[in-house]
């Protein structure tokens, strides 16, 4: 198995499967579903953070890097998961948050208690004369990025929630401690790491004010050249010693150039990277908290630029539509009312035949949708609540904000996995920590396995990736880039050519391929409306995706 053949499934553990009654998904719940995951064909399972945490940011605020939060189980449960996973050929990928720790972490607590050693674990600064904070930076969850450090005249940097304190990677001891954490989990048999916002770890010694422009501000702490050195050092002292271990860096506001560098294998930094530019095509003027239609041409252009940029320069993309920070793509770019199954399979088709490693986010394989919550109290996410307050101060009405949250809140993807038509969709025997989407009676795993189209389609996509070199390794070339309804591209490997054409909308269309596709003996490979023969004037049904192959 090499990394080019992997297909990775993301289980948002808190919402995946509760083996007991506390209303939170847990490790035993995950283990009980390995059989299901193996049917899908995935090779690796990424679990969101399950470490002890005050859960201010759903586990991305870690208070002990080598423990397991009792709500999720025990270390024995985890060992059992790794062992069982091995039997199914499914490696476990952990989510490590090394940019910041919870302020409840022992290190921060000791720092607060006055221990100088631990004060240097964090980024503490005084505010210059006449200024309120050390710099004018904004937190990604709203408000200033600095918080008062206890009773001192210093402030600590927190780029996310104020309970998430940025760690000082300039301090060698911090780097050594974090390396130990990675090695601890490798010792437990972990086969992959997803490294949270890892391109933010390189902060300068002297931090300066931004101009107020958000992009310029991010550049002051994002993708700094030293990040490469830190990653090379971490790799050399931990995962880099084990060629089978896969790493994926989650990259906040990154660039193609940086990601080439992070993921070129010769640099020994990371296997691949997540970038997010393609999931900002429904922001209005770069602002997430707006209701705006998505820009299809921009979406294709971004994916195309990343495909070309990384594949032509020895980089490697992590491919995804969904994750725990994003609304459901089927609701966002598809039609979850009239063409739910076709839009789900169509999106999957486009993604799985691209260059890179596909990720499947829990529920995507059964076409789960946004839950369309109607009340503010149904949202649990700190970011959504902060955004609500902010939008109110900007003068938006409650109704307007609720509509925006229905489209943009991270909780759209965090509702419990819909397993059956039983109470709480079979997710828990207790009360779930967050409400379920009401449609679980119609959309659930049991129903999908009986007569659905989506799960089977994912199985086929995953099987084809494992079988065909052209999907794993082929060059990528775009076609019809300016077409306003169709998404199409080719992949080539040795003598083999793969052509993928997809109607991204609900209206039928006839596509003229004659200018872009060379004639030849094109054979059907897979399509979400079943087999069709190739034609230069190809008719596509609503949300139809189809691929042909030629040798």
What are the catalytic residues? 196, 250
Check if the beta carbon of residue 475 is closer than 8 Å to that of residue 497: no
Identify which of residues 188 and 288 has a Cβ nearer to ligand TEU in the complex: 288
Residue 185: CB minimum distance to ligand TEU, A: 18
Closest CA to 356 of 204, 471, 275: 471
Residues lying near ligand TEU in the complex (CB under 6 A) are found at 57, 60, 97, 140, 160, 196-197, 250, 252, 288, 324-325, 383
Give the number of other CB atoms < 10 A from CB of residue 225.
9
The three-state secondary structure class of 24 is coil
In the complex, minimum distance from the CB of residue 252 to ligand TEU, in angstroms, rounded to a whole number: 4
Closer by beta carbon to ligand TEU, 31 or else 323: 323
Q: Which residue is nearest to ligand TEU (CB)?
A: 60
Measure the CA–CA gap between 283 and 394, rounded to whole angstroms.
17
Q: List C-alpha distances in Å: 56 to 47, 60, 102, 373.
A: 18, 8, 9, 21
SS (H, E, C) 494-527: CCEEEEEEEECCCCCEEEECCCCCCCCCCEEEEE
> What tokens does 530 get?
């079943």
Q: Is the dihedral of CA 127, 174, 244, 46 positive or negative?
A: negative
Q: How far is the CB of 324 from ligand TEU (least distance, A)?
A: 6
CB of 325 or CB of 453, closer to ligand TEU: 325
Residue number, 57 or 341, with CB nearest to ligand TEU: 57
Instruction: Return the closest-CA partner of residue 60 out of 12, 27, 96.
Output: 96
**Tokens for 451?**
């007569």
Q: Which is nearer to ligand TEU, 196 or 497 (CB)?
A: 196
Whether the CB-CB separation of 51 and 102 falls below 8 Å is answered with no
DSSP 90-127: -EEEEEE--SEEETTSHHHHHHHTT-HHHHTTB-EEEP
Q: CA 100 to CA 178: how far, in whole Å?
A: 11
What are the structure tokens assigned to 200, written together? Answer: 């933010």
To ligand TEU, the closest distance from the beta carbon of 313 in angstroms equals 25
Which two tokens mark 314?
């020895």
The smaller minimum CB distance to ligand TEU, of residues 26 and 411, is found at 411
Residue 107 or 548 having the CB closest to ligand TEU: 107
Least distance between ligand TEU and beta carbon 194 (Å): 9
Q: Which is nearer to ligand TEU, 145 or 541 (CB)?
A: 145
For residue 325, the minimal CB distance to ligand TEU (Å) is 4
DSSP state of 423: G
User: Residue 55 CB, nearest distance to ligand TEU (Å)?
Assistant: 12
Q: Where are the beta strands (DSSP E) in 320-404?
A: 357-361
Question: With helix as H, strand as E and coil as C, how does 198-215 read?
Answer: HHHCCCCCCCCCCCCCHH
| Cα 24 to Cα 14: distance, rounded to the nearest angstrom | 5
Are the C-beta atoms of 1 and 402 separated by less than 8 Å?
A: no
Q: Considering beta carbons, is residue 434 or 513 the nearer one to ligand TEU?
A: 434
Q: Using the structure block, give the residue that is written with the tokens 């503490």.
A: 124
Shortest Cβ 470–ligand TEU spacing (Å): 32
Burial class (CB in 10 A: 0-12, 13-18, 19+), 32: middle
- Measured CA to CA, the distance from residue 290 to residue 292 in angstroms comes to 6
In angstroms, what is the minimal distance from the CB of 379 to ligand TEU? Answer: 13
């Amino acid at each position: 198995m090499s990394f080019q053949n992997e297909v990775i499934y993301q289980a948002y553990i808190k919402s995946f499967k509760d083996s007991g009654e506390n209303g939170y998904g847990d490790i035993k719940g995950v283990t009980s579903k390995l059989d299901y995951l193996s049917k899908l064909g995935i090779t690796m399972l990424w679990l969101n953070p399950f470490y002890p945490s005050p859960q201010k940011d759903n586990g991305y605020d870690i208070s002990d890097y080598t423990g397991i939060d009792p709500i999720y189980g025990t270390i024995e449960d985890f060992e059992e998961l790794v062992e069982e996973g091995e039997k199914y050929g499914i490696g476990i990928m952990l989510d490590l948050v090394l940019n910041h720790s919870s302020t409840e972490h022992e290190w921060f607590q000791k720092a607060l208690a006055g221990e100088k050693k631990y004060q240097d674990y964090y980024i503490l600064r005084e505010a210059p004369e006449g200024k309120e904070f050390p710099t004018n930076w904004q937190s990604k969850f709203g408000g200033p990025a600095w918080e008062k450090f206890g009773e001192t005249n210093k402030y600590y940097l927190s780029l996310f929630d104020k309970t998430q304190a940025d760690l000082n990677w300039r301090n060698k001891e911090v780097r050594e401690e974090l390396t130990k954490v990675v090695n601890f989990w490798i010792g437990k048999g972990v086969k992959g790491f997803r490294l949270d916002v890892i391109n933010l770890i390189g902060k300068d010694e002297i931090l300066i004010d931004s101009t107020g422009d958000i992009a310029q501000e991010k550049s002051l702490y994002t993708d700094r050249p030293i990040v490469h050195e830190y990653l090379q050092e971490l790799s050399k002292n931990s995962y880099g010693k084990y060629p089978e271990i896969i790493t994926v860096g989650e990259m906040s506001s990154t660039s193609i150039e940086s990601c080439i560098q992070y993921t070129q294998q010769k640099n020994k930094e990371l296997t691949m990277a997540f970038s997010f530019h393609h999931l900002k095509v429904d922001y209005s003027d770069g602002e997430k908290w707006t209701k705006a239609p998505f820009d299809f041409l921009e979406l294709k252009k971004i994916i195309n630029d990343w495909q070309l940029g990384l594949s032509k320069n020895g980089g490697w993309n992590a491919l995804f539509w969904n994750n725990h920070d994003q609304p459901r793509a089927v609701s966002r770019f598809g039609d979850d009312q009239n063409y739910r199954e076709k839009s789900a399979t169509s999106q999957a088709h486009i993604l799985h035949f691209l260059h890179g490693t596909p990720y499947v986010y829990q529920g995507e394989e059964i076409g789960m949708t946004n839950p369309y919550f109607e009340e503010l109290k149904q949202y649990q996410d700190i970011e959504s609540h902060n955004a609500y307050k902010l939008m109110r101060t900007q003068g938006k009405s409650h109704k307007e904000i609720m509509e925006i949250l229905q489209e943009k809140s991270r909780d759209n993807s965090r509702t419990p996995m819909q397993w059956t038509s039983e109470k709480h969709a079979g997710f828990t025997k207790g009360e779930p920590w967050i409400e379920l989407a009401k449609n679980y009676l119609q959309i659930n795993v049991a129903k999908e396995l009986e007569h659905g189209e989506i799960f089977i389609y994912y199985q086929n996509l995953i099987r084809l990736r494992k079988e065909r070199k052209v999907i794993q390794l082929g060059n990528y070339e775009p076609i019809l880039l300016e077409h306003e309804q169709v998404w199409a591209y080719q992949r080539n490997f040795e003598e083999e050519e793969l052509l993928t054409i997809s109607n991204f909308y609900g209206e039928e269309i006839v596509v003229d391929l004659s200018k872009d596709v060379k004639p030849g003996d094109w054979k059907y490979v897979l399509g979400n409306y079943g087999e069709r023969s190739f034609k230069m004037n190809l008719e596509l049904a609503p949300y139809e995706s189809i691929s042909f192959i030629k040798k």
